Amino acid sequence: MAEVFTHTVQSDTFTGTLSVPTGLFIDGEFVESATRAVIELHNPSDGSFITKVSLAGKKDIDAAVDSAERAFERSWGTNVSAPARGRLLAKLADLVEQSIDDFAALEALNAGRNFLHARGHDILDVISTLRYYAGWADKHFGQTIETADSRFAYTRHEPIGVCGIIVPWNFPLILAVWSIAPALATGNAVVLKPSELTPLTALKLASLVRAAGFPPGAFNVVQGYGAVAGEALSAHMRVRKIAFTGSTAVGRRIMELAARSNLKRVTLELGGKSPAIVFDDADVESAVAEILKGMFTRSGQFCAAGTRIYVQEGIYDTLVPLLVHAAQSIPLGSGFEADIAAGPLISQTQLDRVLGYIEAGKGAGATLLTGGTRLDRPGYFVAPTLFGDVPQDASILREEIFGPVGVVVKFNTESEALRLANESTYGLVGHVYTQSVDRALRVTRRLQAGSAFVNMFAFLDPHVPFGGVKQSGFGRQLGQKALDEYTVLKAVHIRVLENARL
């Protein structure tokens, strides 16, 4: 039996005692790992130790898959009706809502996300997503197709089976639920591998899954290293689907493992280096405010962050100083401080990576407009950073940094802006700032991206599909389209016998 972590928080934004099991969640129970391996968790806001949690290895992945397969074959995938699945997801949403403060506090403690932001957006998004797919559980219909006078066919959307879900540390619960909800709604059994850095909200969710009454094994949580637990899940012969959110490099590895094992289906939501194009006719003050959100939400640890800022020459000299001043004014702080716009990076490793990119930008000849330094305080904080005069081949312009670093580039014409924006191996989102409807429609149509946002940063909604093109991945999360990612389409052909006996 695994231990339970308890922690009391007293702050201006949250006061209470948090309680979370620290084991793996397999077959409806919290258990220690097969090897008793553990990993320490730390608070990125100050580097302090939080607790130890069980660390999954290959044997634990096998046990979780066994549990999920039993649930799929004996209960969840066969004996629980679609309306009943919807009711269970709705009940889970209610339980999350009742614990909204605890979930937000765990995100602040474990992931460095600001408590008020997590409560006011992240956990509300989780609740909305669960309720959205609860409503879809009994509405993902097939078709009836007349093929001849004496024949017809119908199609069925059937669950795939055991689905492995691998999510990163930047938005631990949101990104997990984006895949968990449609997978469970369509009757699949789930093995979730959260990041070994930020598993606490996934473990809290597991306790509520059990309280809601889901059959044991329908949902499992196995936190572990990607190179061990992630690879074991991706290569497992009885896992029929992997949904992965993370880096492009790891996405390639998952595709390779899926192909070498059982040709399991794969959905990938990968990296991004998203452009934000600001035209001369944009509302400058509004554009600056939205660009800052798009760059520095979660301190830039956001796959859809708009970190390539292309500004038309007519407003460049007006907008850039405003952008620099606004970046310098962003209030930074820990997860439980009030009036905070950005927090820490997740770890020392990520801090070193971001500072390395900043030094590379300086070395490439780019002009540092603001920031560029680590803050003199505990935790993993980097000042919001902007570069100008960036060479086209500079790594800070072409590679995903996953930190609070943006580049500003001047352009002349609409066609030039599109050429620069599309000169990227990525294609997750694009942002356009203009007051011309015609221009907005032209440019968004030609942007090579899975999503485009006009006069706003990348604010995602459970009702709208989301995913990338090029090396930002394939498949779609959210919206009705996500249901197809977790089902197989079966066609049934019927011949009507005229003289059939009753």
In a domain, 51, yes or no: no
| Domain membership of residue 142 as a residue range | 58-270+468-489
Residue with tokens 């900043």: 358
In a domain, 13, yes or no: no
CATH number assigned to the domain comprising residue 183: 3.40.605.10
Along the 502 residues of the chain, how does pLDDT read in single tens digits? Answer: 679 999 999 998 999 999 999 999 999 999 999 999 999 999 999 999 999 999 999 999 999 999 999 999 999 988 899 999 999 999 999 999 999 999 999 999 999 999 999 999 999 999 999 999 999 999 999 999 999 888 999 999 999 999 999 999 999 999 999 999 999 999 999 999 999 999 999 999 999 999 999 999 999 999 999 999 999 999 999 999 999 999 999 999 999 999 999 999 999 999 999 999 999 999 999 999 999 999 998 899 999 999 999 999 999 999 999 999 999 999 999 889 988 888 999 999 999 999 999 999 999 999 999 999 999 999 999 999 999 999 999 999 999 999 999 999 999 999 999 999 999 999 999 999 999 999 999 999 999 999 999 999 988 999 999 999 999 999 999 999 999 999 999 999 999 887 656 5
Are 231 and 370 contained in the same domain? no
Are 182 and 127 contained in the same domain? yes
Are 259 and 304 contained in the same domain? no
In a domain, 124, yes or no: yes
Are 350 and 390 contained in the same domain? yes
Q: Are strands 4-10 and 15-21 parallel, antiparallel or unpaired?
A: antiparallel
Reduced to 3 states (helix: H, G, I; strand: E, B; else coil), residue 308 is strand
The total number of structural domains that make up the chain: 2
Q: Which two tokens stand for residue 470?
A: 């090029």
C-alpha 369: how far from its chain's center? 30
Name the catalytic one among 269, 290, 337, 485.
269
Are 285 and 237 contained in the same domain? no
Please name every residue paired with 25 in a beta bridge, in sequence order, or none if there are none: 30, 221
In a domain, 43, yes or no: no
Give the whole-angstrom CA distance, residue 254 versus residue 234: 6
> 239 and 233 in contact (C-beta within 8 Å)?
yes
Q: What is the DSSP letter of 235?
A: H
3 state SS for 406-418: EEEEEECCHHHHH
For residue 110, give Cα distances in angstroms to 49, 313, 334. Answer: 10, 43, 11
| Torsion angle, alpha carbons of 107, 108, 110, 111, to 10 | 80
Residue 232 buriedness (CB in 10 A; 0-12 / 13-18 / 19+): buried
In a domain, 38, yes or no: no
In the chain, the amino acid numbered 266 is V
Are 265 and 349 contained in the same domain? no
Q: Name the residue among 39, 80, 72, 43 with its Cα closest to residue 56.
A: 39
**285 in catalytic set:** no
C-alpha 360: how far from its chain's center? 28
Q: Which two tokens stand for residue 235?
A: 């290569």
Are 156 and 191 contained in the same domain? yes
Are 249 and 320 contained in the same domain? no
In a domain, 1, yes or no: no
Are 264 and 285 contained in the same domain? no
CATH number assigned to the domain comprising residue 331: 3.40.309.10
Cβ atoms within 10 Å, residue 414: 16
CA dihedral (25, 26, 31, 34) positive or negative: negative
| Structure confidence by residue, pLDDT tens digits, 26-83 | 999 999 999 999 999 999 999 999 999 999 999 999 999 999 999 999 999 888 999 9
In a domain, 336, yes or no: yes
Residues 6+ away with beta carbon under 8 Å from 105: 9, 14, 16, 18, 115, 336
Are 66 and 120 contained in the same domain? yes
In a domain, 331, yes or no: yes
Q: Name the residue among 168, 246, 181 with its Cα closest to residue 219.
A: 181
| Structure confidence by residue, pLDDT tens digits, 377-409 | 999 999 999 999 999 999 999 999 999 999 999
pTM, entire model? 0.95
> 406 and 387 in contact (C-beta within 8 Å)?
yes
Give the whole-angstrom CA distance, residue 376 versus residue 333: 12
Are 397 and 450 contained in the same domain? yes
Q: Are strands 308-312 and 405-411 parallel, antiparallel or unpaired?
A: parallel
Are 314 and 178 contained in the same domain? no
> 390 and 366 in contact (C-beta within 8 Å)?
yes
Q: Which two tokens stand for residue 260?
A: 């070498």
Residues 6+ away with beta carbon under 8 Å from 74: none
> 239 and 230 in contact (C-beta within 8 Å)?
no
